[in-house]
């Protein structure tokens, strides 16, 4: 038995990694399951369009991967995570012995990082002098800022400073430069095993909004309302066949989405000859490497929008928030935008009226407004996420755009008002009648050039308690005091009220 124990101890010593030896690296296979939950940009108003080049929202990404682990310490690399990943938010569950360390391999393969990571490594200098091509072996002895200093058999020299065009060929890609965003974890498994793990993390570079289209009936009393969920990603990583959801409402989130240059951290490479102040861009050739990846997609502003509307998104409760689940798996593509059907309601009762806002008696522009009631008995009755609205009206059986507005997040039971466009047939004139020590009387003449009566509301931007003696019975909507009135066809109406000044 002692001899057997000594033999086992010797085998254990031989099998243990030598002191200072790097643990083996394991590349995780592609995810077997994906879920992407997108949150709106916290500081983007409903009337502000998504910036597809800089999506300022974020997403919770959940991946399911199967790992084959060796016994002992190992580094597992999750390639293909989002470039905008917040590594401090990453959680890996399903590992019986947990995670010892996690790292974000942020130095992606680029001309600059390849040059920097090749310091002290062999390279090939290729020079084009006239019609001749000369190659020489050397070792890179400088960083990516300044001159390209290479040590050759003849000594040290600066590349591309001899009147010809020079290039540096690399013999391979250093392992520290992944071609895809990669999250690495260090773990220590007591036995070899195969496990299924779940990786969850937050990432910047995503956004979503609702987009509505309202088509008025010929009499203006009803509208067909169609809505889409617009999903946007400015990240370089795509997530195919993902379970996709969006969250409506305001979620407190510290910080902001980084700019594009902050996300990538990649700067261009500029090499300068030692004896000339002129800065040159060094030509980089990757020799003896796999073929280069396909060119990046065109700028997002020129990309097509994919529309898929086979089935409607399903609304669910998420605490005080609302979650909309896309019923079919969909691809959240890299640097792309997609629309998924949200709702389709026909003949929703609506009211078209005109509104002006008054500040100290002075009117702003008269606006055409479309109002609906978000109730089931009024054709709606569901939470409506914020987003822009395009309003169409029929003209000789052809719907024409009459204006665009937006709505904020609306709960069931609330009024939905869409500020559509400036009015052209309804005008107002302010009249300042009289004033006292602590009060002023204001008047407003409303003229209607339409061949039909119209509904008009004057919204007073003042504390409601300071408005006295209105000429019509006021109503309160969304916390504001309004004076509603019907203006006859080709007629006019005068509104009056008194405003008490501050003491």
Answer whether 233's CB lies under 8 Å from 303's CB. no
Q: CA-to-CA distance for 55 and 82, rounded, in angstroms?
A: 13
Please give the class, per CATH, of domain 350-500: mainly beta
| Residue-level pLDDT at 257 | 58
* Model confidence at 218: pLDDT above 70: yes
Residue 223: pLDDT band with limits 50, 70, 90: very high
* Model confidence at 361: pLDDT above 90: no
pTM score = 0.70
Six-digit token pair at 139? 């070792």
- For the chain, the distance separating the N- and C-terminal CA atoms, rounded to the nearest angstrom, is 101
- 23-105+178-207+228-259+291-343: CATH topology is Immunoglobulin-like (2.60.40)
| Residue-level pLDDT at 113 | 59
| Residue-level pLDDT at 293 | 44
Q: CA-to-CA distance for 72 and 204, rounded, in angstroms?
A: 34
464 backbone dihedrals φ, ψ, rounded to 5°: -55, -35
pLDDT (tens digit, 9 = 90+) per residue, 260-314?
545 444 455 555 554 444 433 333 333 333 334 444 444 443 334 444 545 678 8
Six-digit token pair at 209? 């909004």
Number of CB atoms found within 10 A of residue 302's CB: 8
pLDDT (tens digit, 9 = 90+) per residue, 149-179?
777 777 777 765 555 566 776 666 666 556 6
Answer whether 404's CB lies under 8 Å from 391's CB. yes
Nearest 10 degrees: Cα torsion 6, 10, 12, 15: -160
* Model confidence at 9: pLDDT above 50: no
Pick from 132, 127, 133, 131: nearest CA to 150 = 127
Residues 6 or more apart whose CB falls under 8 angstroms from that of 121 comprise 139, 140, 170, 171, 174
pLDDT (tens digit, 9 = 90+) per residue, 453-495?
999 999 998 776 688 889 999 998 877 889 999 999 999 999 9
Q: Which residues does residue 216 pair with via DSSP β-bridges, in sequence order?
A: 223
SS (HEC) of 443-486: EEEEEECCCCCEEEEEEECCCHHHEECCCCCCEEECCEEEEEEE
Q: CA-to-CA distance for 158 and 167, rounded, in angstroms?
A: 11
Region of residue 98 (left: phi > 0; alpha: psi -120 to 50; beta: else)? left
Helix, strand, coil percentages for the chain (3-state, nearest 5) = 10, 50, 40
Determine which of 91-100, 238-247, 274-283 has the lowest per-residue pLDDT on average.
274-283
Q: CA-to-CA distance for 187 and 171, rounded, in angstroms?
A: 31
Answer whether 162's CB lies under 8 Å from 127's CB. yes
């Amino acid at each position: 038995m002692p001899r057997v124990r000594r033999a086992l101890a010797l085998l254990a010593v031989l099998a243990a990694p030598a002191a200072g030896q790097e643990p083996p690296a394991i590349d995780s296979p592609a995810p077997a399951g994906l879920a992407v939950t997108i949150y709106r940009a916290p500081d983007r108003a409903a009337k502000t369009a998504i910036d597809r080049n800089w999506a300022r929202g974020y997403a919770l990404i959940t991946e399911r991967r199967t790992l084959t682990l060796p016994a002992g310490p190992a580094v597992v690399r999750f390639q293909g995570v989002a470039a905008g990943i917040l590594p401090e938010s990453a959680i890996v569950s399903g590992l019986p012995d947990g995670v010892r360390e996690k790292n974000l391999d942020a130095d992606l393969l680029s001309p600059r990082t390849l040059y920097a990571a090749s310091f002290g490594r062999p390279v090939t200098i290729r020079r084009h002098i006239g019609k001749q091509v000369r190659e020489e072996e050397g070792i890179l002895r400088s960083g990516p800022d300044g001159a390209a200093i290479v040590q050759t058999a003849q000594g040290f020299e600066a590349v591309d400073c001899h009147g010809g065009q020079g290039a540096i060929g690399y013999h391979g890609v250093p392992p520290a430069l992944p071609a895809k965003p990669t999250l690495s974890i260090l773990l220590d498994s007591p036995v070899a095993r195969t496990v299924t793990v779940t990786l969850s993390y937050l990432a910047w570079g995503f956004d979503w909004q609702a987009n509505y289209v309202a088509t008025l009936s010929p009499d203006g009393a009803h509208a067909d309302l169609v809505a889409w969920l617009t999903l946007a990603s400015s990240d370089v990583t795509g997530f195919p066949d993902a379970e996709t959801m969006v969250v409506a409402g305001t979620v407190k989130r510290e910080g902001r989405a980084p700019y594009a240059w902050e996300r990538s951290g990649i700067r261009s490479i500029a090499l300068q000859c030692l004896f000339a102040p002129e800065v040159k861009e060094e030509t980089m050739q990757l020799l003896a490497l796999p073929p280069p990846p396909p060119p990046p997609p065109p700028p997002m502003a020129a990309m097509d929008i994919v529309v898929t509307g086979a089935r409607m998104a399903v609304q669910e409760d998420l605490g005080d928030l609302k979650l909309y689940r896309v019923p079919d798996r969909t691809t959240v593509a890299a640097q792309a935008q997609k629309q998924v059907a949200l709702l389709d309601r026909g003949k929703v009762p609506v009211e078209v009226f005109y509104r002006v806002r008054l500040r100290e008696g002075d009117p702003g522009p008269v606006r055409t407004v479309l109002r609906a009631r978000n109730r089931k008995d009024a054709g709606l009755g569901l939470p409506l996420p914020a987003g822009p609205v395009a309003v169409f009206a029929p003209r000789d059986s052809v719907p024409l755009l009459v204006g665009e507005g937006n709505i904020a997040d609306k709960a069931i039971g609330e009024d939905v008002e869409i500020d559509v466009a400036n009015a052209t047939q309804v005008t107002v004139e302010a009249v300042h009648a009289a004033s006292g020590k602590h009060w002023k009387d204001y008047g407003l003449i409303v003229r209607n050039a339409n061949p039909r009566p119209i509904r008009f509301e004057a919204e007073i931007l003042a504390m409601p308690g300071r408005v006295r003696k209105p000429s019509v019975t006021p109503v309160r909507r969304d916390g504001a005091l309004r004076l509603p009135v019907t203006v006859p066809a080709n007629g006019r109406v005068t509104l009056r009220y008194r405003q008490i000044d501050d003491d």
